[in-house]
Structure 1
Amino acid sequence: MDPVTSGILVVVVLLVLMAIGTPIAFALGAVSLGALVLDRGVRELIYFGETFFASVASFGFVAIPMFILMGAAVASSPTGRDLYRSLDLWMGKLPGGLAISNIAACSIFAALSGSSPATSAAIGKLGIPEMRKRGYPDGVAAGCIAAGGTLGILIPPSVTMIVYGISTETSIGRLFIAGAVPGLMLAGLFMVWTLIACKLAGGYNTPNPVAEAAAQIKENVEGNLKALVRVIPFLLVVMGILFALYGGVATPSEAAGVGAFLCLGLAVIVYRMWQVKPLGNIMRDALRESVMIMLIIATAEIFAFALSSLFITQTVAQAIADLEVNRWVLMGVINLFLLVAGFFLPPVAVIVMAAPILLPIIVAANFDPYWFAVILTINLEIGLITPPVGLNLFIIKGIAPDIALRDILMGSLPYALCMILGIVLLCFFPQIALWLPNLIMGVGT
């Protein structure tokens, strides 16, 4: 069977498995195993387990469960509630200020947790009911949280950036810095659209439509300021981690381990989470997400190996490389591929499978690999708020089951257009991503 036919068959089988509800990791593993057995025979089963475990044996992957544990400690504590309260105090008087404060809270919480689902869940549980109570349309309330949650995979520290760095053998510290300014740029674009959407929907110039709102907020100022004080230690931990990475003080795995220990300690001390149950919940959530991501990484590596064994990867890469087109047309084709892949696969799986293939093509076309990491990540962010997978959409649906999925989707789509605008701006002005890493770590790759 020729590589093109094999590739089409593999993709169709994978999509069918996902369509019937098979978990991503099991779908990737089953298709990979079937393809390898058909290509090399039953003897390939002997090496399947060895290949599976070898794919996640890199020491660099230790950073992933540690950062996830750090995020779980933050997500399981009332940090999101305190962020929400303190930001609402400062931004509540803007038109649409409550929605804007939710996006700001998502941006900060993304830096604390490094996880898009955790960000959407933590801020959404508080923000969506409050926005709806104050008269915000369902689409605006759900859309701003779903979009704000996507910032978790771009604003450092980011688990997906760690996976990209390990997969492409690029500096994780430089990747983190490269994602910082674009992440803030996207947050700014989200806020601008939210302001416009709220103006179009009626303004929402006051934090609460009821007459007692102003007096109520004044009474709560002291409490909100105390909430902000409780969040500051967590922000200092994140700043310390980033300083350790950028200054060469520690490796990502070491920084992640220290960060996880400190955030867990802060959750216990600041929020008095002494009981066994909340600590057990933190460990359970961290273990669940870590196992899920590591399973996806392992099976995605095997899937990539199977595609390579069938010469599918080489055929696709050669077809892209042979395109006699302008390098920006080539970049457009790659962006389209990433966008479509993000519709069906989680970010980690796309990065593990696609980044090692695309990187040589990107470098040959004279694009910066760190700039490309940001472009790739934003494409995958779009996939988090677009069907058929759209993980953040389903998280929001779980938080607010009485909001129609159509309203959540329609409220999120303008933010997807904001991300596309962000990609365009990065193409015209690549220094948005490259200026800060070049300033801190020097020019180079």
Structure 2
Amino acid sequence: MTTLMLGLLILVLTLVLLATGVPVAFALGGISAIFLFLQDGSGDVASVAEAFFGALEEFNLVAIPMFVLMGTAAAASRVGGDIGEALKRWLYPVPGGKILASLGAATVFAGIAGSSPATCVGIGRKSLPEMLEDGYPQDIASGSLAAAATLAILIPPSLVLIVYGIAVNIDIGRLFLAGMVPGLLLVLLFMGLSLFILRHHRGDFDDGNRQYSMREKLETLPRTLPILVIIAGVVAFLVAGIVEPSEAGGVGALLVLCLIVFVYGVHQRYRLWAILQSATRESVMILMIIAGAAMFGAMLSELGVPAALSSWVYDLAPSSWMVILMVNLLLLLLGCFMPPVAVVLMSLPVVMPVVIDAGYDPIWFAIVMTLNLQIGLITPPVGLNLQAVQALAPDVPRHQILRGAWPFLLCIAGEIVLLCLFPEIVTALPNALMGPAG
């Protein structure tokens, strides 16, 4: 069996295991150990075990549980609801203001959570029932929420970009800056699409005849400004290089915990304990996926799959455009079956040599990869955001959520094409503020 066919067999078996419900970390780790044992005996299995533990020795991984705690604490409070309420009051005169408020709130909340499902819950718990009660179409209300929550893995501080930066050894502050302009551009595309859809939708929904006074608008600021200051501070200190990601995450988590205790009244012991339990479970899951993906990458390298794939790709598609098209298709496929962090760590050992050899900037590729993974979050068969939204609104059928999300999927795909044509959209801001990458 050729190396390339072996790699294809490994991919198919991995997807089959995931489709049967095997946890991602165990699927990746188990496949790695089995194939290396069959290939070369116990010696290489030991090297994969070293990869498992070595992957967790990186100090910057401490940032992951800190940012997870930050997002979990915010999602357990009324932070998301208050952000949505503030935007709703300021945007009420605009037709479709509640949709725009939901999209804007998801954008802000993404800066706390770093996780798409957490953003769905933090924003959708209040905004989705309100939109449905006011007569907004089920597909538009639920689909726009599912799509907006994907911004959490693009807008800083994104867990996906943190993991990518650690894996590729790229400055995380530079990655955060690289994600800002594409993230804001995607928000504008989402908002424009929402207004277009609502304008051409035949149906009655309440745009809100209620007019808010300036006093009512301003009274939302004391409950929303603190979280905005925390988000801006964490990102600014990271980008400026004043703190490491682990330090920024730790301070951010502490400040958000203080905020929900003293401002939002989440001081009951059982609620705080539940927040810590939830954050611990999610952090352990992510770290196990990181370790399993490291084993997977080590196994692929030992078997020579990256070199074989690179050679095959260049034989099939000598053009750099064809190379990036094939890489995008692979990422889309993997993103439909696995969570974003797993795709990043599993695919990088294989695709990064191909991308670098084709002459692409790894910082630019980080954003393109993230956009591909955003599509996976709202695409069956897994569609983590589709599941999260349906959990918030069980009466809304899955096909309605998907129907509402697919136009936003086209927006994301369109932005991928735009970034391929104009990579400066990604690189201009980090190069201007931090200088060209060395």
TM-score by length of 1: 0.93
Q: Which residue of structure 1 aligns with residue 286 of structure 2? A: 293
Q: What is residue 163 of structure 2 aligned with on the other side?
A: 163
The aligned residue for residue 60 of structure 2 is 60
* Whole-angstrom CA distance in 2 between matches of 1:4 and 1:239: 46
SS in 2 for 1:284: helix
* 1:140 and 2:140 aligned: yes
2:192 alignment counterpart:
192
Counterparts in 2 of 1:135 and 1:91: CA distance versus 1, 3 Å: same
Offset of residue 406 of structure 1: 0.7
Supply the AA of the counterpart residue of 2:173. Answer: G
Residue of structure 2 aligned with 1:246, choices 228, 239, 244: 239
Is contact 2:82-2:224 (8 Å) kept? yes
SS at match of 2:220: helix
CA contact (8 A) 2:32 2:48 kept: no
Distance 2:279 2:85 in 1: 26
Match of 2:248 among 247, 252, 255: 255
**Distance change (3 Å), C-alpha of 1:49 and 1:227:** farther
Is contact 1:83–1:228 with CA below 8 Å preserved after alignment? no
Give the corresponding residue for 2:424.
431
Secondary structure of the residue aligned to 1:344 is coil
Aligned equivalents of 1:313, 1:330: Cα separation in 2? 14
Distance apart, 1:420 and its partner CA: 0.6
Q: Distance in 1 between matches of 2:44 and 2:65?
A: 30
Inter-partner Cα distance in structure 2 for 1:87 and 1:257 = 28
Matching residue of 1:154: 154
Q: 1:231 Cα shift?
A: 1.7
Partner of 2:267, secondary structure, is coil
Q: Offset at 1:429?
A: 2.0
Corresponding residue for residue 303 of structure 2: 310
The partner residue of 1:362 within 345, 355, 368 is: 355
Q: Which residue of 2 aligns with 1:270?
A: 263
Q: 1:362 to 1:11 in 2, by over 3 A?
A: closer
Contact 2:238–2:248 under 8 Å retained in 1: yes
Q: Distance in 1 between matches of 2:156 and 2:377?
A: 18
Query: Is this contact kept in 1: 2:134–2:205, CA < 8 A?
Result: no
Alpha-carbon offset, residue 135 of structure 1: 0.9
Q: Is the 8 A contact 2:227 2:256 kept in 1?
A: yes
Contact conserved, 1:125 with 1:399, CA < 8 A, in 2? yes
Match of 2:33 in 1: 33
Structure 2 CA distance for partners of 1:419 and 1:57, relative to 1, 3 Å: same
Calculate the TM-score normalised by the size of structure 2: 0.95
Please name the residue that 1:394 is paired with: 387
Residue pair 1:112, 1:235 contacting (<8 A) in 2 also: no
Please show how residues 376-395 of structure 1 align to structure 2 within 5 Å: 376-395=369-388
Aligned 1:51-200 pairs, distance under 5 A: 51-200=51-200
2-side partners of 1:145 and 1:259: how far apart? 25
Cα-to-partner distance string for 1:242-301 (whole Å, 9 max, x where unaligned) = 221121211111111111111111111111222211211221121111111111111011
1:439 to 1:359, Cα distance in 2 relative to 1, 3 A: same
Report sequence identity in percent: 44
- Secondary structure at the aligned position of 2:156 is classed as coil
The answer to whether the 8 Å contact 2:128/2:141 transfers is yes
Within 1, Cα distance between the matches of 2:321 and 2:12?
Answer: 29
RMSD (Å), alpha carbons: 1.9
Change (3 A) 1:192 1:206: same
Q: Within 5 Å, which residues of 2 pair with 1:43-58?
A: 49-58=49-58
Q: Please, which moves more after superposition, 408-417 or 366-375? A: 366-375
Distance 1:305 1:206 in 2: 55
AA at the equivalent of 1:183: G
2:229 to 224, 228, 236: 236
Contact 2:110 2:152 (8 Å CA) reproduced: yes
One of 316, 338, 346 as aligned partner of 2:339:
346
Name the SS for the 2:200 alignment partner: helix
Q: Is the 8 A contact 2:18 2:27 kept in 1?
A: yes
Amino acid across the alignment from 2:193: W
Deviations 1:191-222 (A, max 9, x none): 111111111213768524xxxx52xx548x75
Do the aligned partners of residues 203 and 401 (structure 1) sit closer, same or farther apart at CA in structure 2, a change above 3 Å counting?
Answer: closer
For structure 1, the 5+ residue unaligned runs are none
CA displacement at 1:237 relative to structure 2:
1.2
1:411 aligns with 2:404: yes
One-letter amino acid matched to 2:123: I
1:258–1:319 Cα change, 3 Å: same
Report the Cα offset of residue 48 of structure 1: 5.2
Deviation of 1:395 (Å) = 0.6
Using the TM superposition, give the Cα deviation of residue 324 of structure 1 relative to its aligned residue in structure 2, in angstroms. 4.9
Q: Does structure 2 conserve the Cα–Cα contact (< 8 Å) formed by 1:296 and 1:349?
A: yes
Q: Among residues 323, 327, 332, which one is paired with 1:334 in the alignment? A: 327
Q: CA deviation at 1:3?
A: 1.7
Within 1, Cα distance between the matches of 2:278 and 2:21?
22
Change in Cα spacing, 1:43 to 1:442, as seen in structure 2 (3 Å) is closer
Aligned residue pairs, count: 438
Q: 1:199 to 1:19 in 2, by over 3 A?
A: same
1:36-56, Cα deviation, whole Å (9 max, x unpaired): 222233565655544322111
Matches within 5 A, 1:220-235: 225-235=218-228
Residues 95 and 206, structure 1, Cα contact 8 Å, conserved in 2: no
Relative to structure 1, the CA distance from residue 223 to residue 273 in structure 2 (aligned partners, 3 Å threshold; closer, same or farther) is farther
Classify 1:78/1:18 alpha carbon distance in 2 versus 1 (closer, same or farther; 3 Å): same
Deviation digits for residues 103-130 of structure 1, max 9, x if unmatched?
1110010012111111111111112111
Please say if residues 143 and 411 of structure 1, whose CA atoms lie closer than 8 Å, have aligned partners that are also in contact: yes
* Kept in 2: contact 1:154–1:183 (CA 8 A): yes
Q: CA deviation at 1:417?
A: 0.3
Whole-Å separation in 2 of the counterparts to 1:43 and 1:407: 51
- CA distance, structure 2, for counterparts of residue 87 and residue 359 of structure 1: 40
